[in-house]
Amino acid sequence: MSAWSRRRFLGVGAAGVVGAGAVAVGLPALGALIPSGQPGLLLASQVPLPKRYATQLPIPSVLQPVRTDGTTDYYEITARPGMARLVAGHDTEVWGYQGMFPGPTIESRSGRRTVVTHKNELPHPTVVHLHGGHTPHDSDGYPMDLIAPLGGGTGGPGAGGMAGMAGMGPATAKPERVYDYPMNQRAATLWYHDHTMGFTGPHVYRGLAGFHLVRDDEEAALGLPHGPRELPLMIADRAFAADGSFAYPALDPSEVKPGVQSAYMNGVLGDVILVNGAPWPVAPVDRARYRLRILNASNARRYRLELDPQPPGGGGLLQIGSDGGLLERPIAHDAIELASAERFDVVVDFSRYPAGSSVRLVNRLGSGSTAEVMRFDIGSAQVSDDSRVPGGTLAKVEKLDASKAVATRTFTFIKSQNNWTINGQGYQPGQSLASPKLGQVEIWRFVSDVHHPVHLHLDPFQVVRRNGDAPGEFDAGWKDTVDVLPAEGVEVAVRFTDYAGRFLVHCHNLEHEDMASMGEFTTQ
């Protein structure tokens, strides 16, 4: 058993971390830091919770380009406040793309350039990141590349921000920014969301998130379920204040100082589960195969999703894709685990259930209200279903050769006194933690104290080892976010390509991220 095994790692504590090649930052009170369940603290709603299974699942509309030409589709999106009816007797203000939560879905064709002009009519600066996008630095949503609020507005990184950011204010920011996405990448479920320095957590919590689907010919040729039988599912937990607004324990709601009240530093957990912005919705489905593009857009909450009841014979969640698109071949799961920002593309065959029956999507990591997610009500009509899921090969997936790695780098994610650190350091804009060469395979190791969903910008990676052993059952395929469990060491193979510049490695628990669990690397 290697020194990377979880048991050994836990057994020898700090010495194990050093032995594993991590920076010797020490692990004070490691045992006390390891939570048993969720990475965070529950914030209870101050209103009666919405009734479960009383709303139909909304499907975000697909945004139409304002213009297209031979190579490019052009879009315009305005972030602005909107209203949603989520709890009885109150309207909830959301901050949404086009005023909606989730924002409209963008659909791109692989290889066809997509240009999105984002405007900001919110009271605070914003930044937009296309999560999973293979995007040059200038359009990647670097946290200091602010879109100023149209009407001026207060707060934001320029007014205070994270420690060590003096003078990096929004002085030059304009109320709109053009994001240019080459889209030279395979079909996958991407999402776009706020990435403002120090305030990503509260911004995404208020609703700044939407799907961006990339399609390609390889996938289209498979005959997977599509059209009304392809459902994007954005799962997010929220809590509500007494007036029906989203409750968020910000340290400073005026957005001068980032972060949350110290009790919530591990993460903010809500008691209401929203899917596509609706609490515990119901989706009417045919007795046929459906493709579910599941995204965990929660700030901190992890889910273990299962169908209840399971279909006869089990394996009800047939995984066909991960963060970075199709798997080589499908994997039948009884349950899938998702940390923040992870995507699972699954096919569910509702014809395995009796006509007229109902099946719930439940969360085995939740309790009470958070143990349930949504329900599918299966029709009784005879329907035709010409979709198929190839049992053999879905797609050609290149396997990165870890033995060819030119470098191994370790990133240790650990709590410090008042913030979160990588290799002992809170985020410092402009300071690079690594300078990988474009086109070369490297091994990046992520070491944790508590739960940290670790995300890389620019390119996806492949998990090669978990605690010295084989990858876990939810690690298959191209990933851009990996669920690092407490006191783990996860090694991934990554090869950055095409774009030289500054990019981010960070924890996607948004409370950790805002409280400095972020670093930069510079590709060259």
User: What CA–CA distances, in Å, run from 377 to 281, 423, 455?
Assistant: 11, 48, 35
Helix and strand counts by DSSP (H, E) for the chain:
5, 33
Q: Contacts with ligand C2O in 187-206 (CB under 6 A)?
A: 193, 195
Choosing from 452, 465, 479, 506, the residue that interacts with Cu ion (CB under 5 A) is 452
Q: How far is the CB of 6 from ligand C2O (least distance, A)?
A: 27
Applying CB under 5 A, what is the total number of residues that bind Cu ion? 5
The answer to whether 23 and 438 are in contact (CB under 8 A) is no
Give the span between the Cα atoms of 302 and 54, in whole angstroms: 24
Choosing from 129, 206, 238, 512, the residue that interacts with ligand C2O (CB under 6 A) is 129
* Among the residue ranges 29-37, 48-56, 99-107, 505-513, the one whose residues contact Cu ion (CB under 5 A): 505-513
Residue-level length of the chain: 524
455 forms part of the interface with ligand C2O (CB under 6 A):
yes
Residue closer to ligand C2O, measured from CB, 129 or 301: 129
Residue closer to ligand C2O, measured from CB, 376 or 478: 478
Q: What DSSP assignment string belongs to 189-234?
A: EEEEEE--TTTHHHHHHHT-EEEEEEE-HHHHTTT-S-GGGEEEEE
Give the span between the Cα atoms of 149 and 174, in whole angstroms: 8
507 binds, among Cu ion, ligand C2O, none (CB under 5 to 8 A by kind): Cu ion
289 binds, among Cu ion, ligand C2O, none (CB under 5 to 8 A by kind): none
E strand map for 17-109: 41-42, 67-68, 72-84, 92-97, 106-109
Strand order in the sheet with 289-296: 278-279, 272-275, 230-238, 289-296, 343-349, 317-322, 325-333
Give the span between the Cα atoms of 219 and 232, in whole angstroms: 16
Q: How far is the CB of 7 from ligand C2O (least distance, A)?
A: 32
Cα 143 versus chain centre, distance: 16
509 binds, among Cu ion, ligand C2O, none (CB under 5 to 8 A by kind): Cu ion
* Among the residue ranges 34-42, 226-234, 395-403, 504-512, the one whose residues contact ligand C2O (CB under 6 A): 504-512
Q: Contacts with ligand C2O in 248-267 (CB under 6 A)?
A: none
Residue closer to Cu ion, measured from CB, 360 or 512: 512
Residue closer to ligand C2O, measured from CB, 238 or 512: 512
52: three-class secondary structure by DSSP: coil
Chain residues binding Cu ion by CB under 5 A are: 452, 507, 509, 512, 517
Chain residues binding ligand C2O by CB under 6 A are: 129, 131, 193, 195, 341, 455, 457, 504, 506, 508
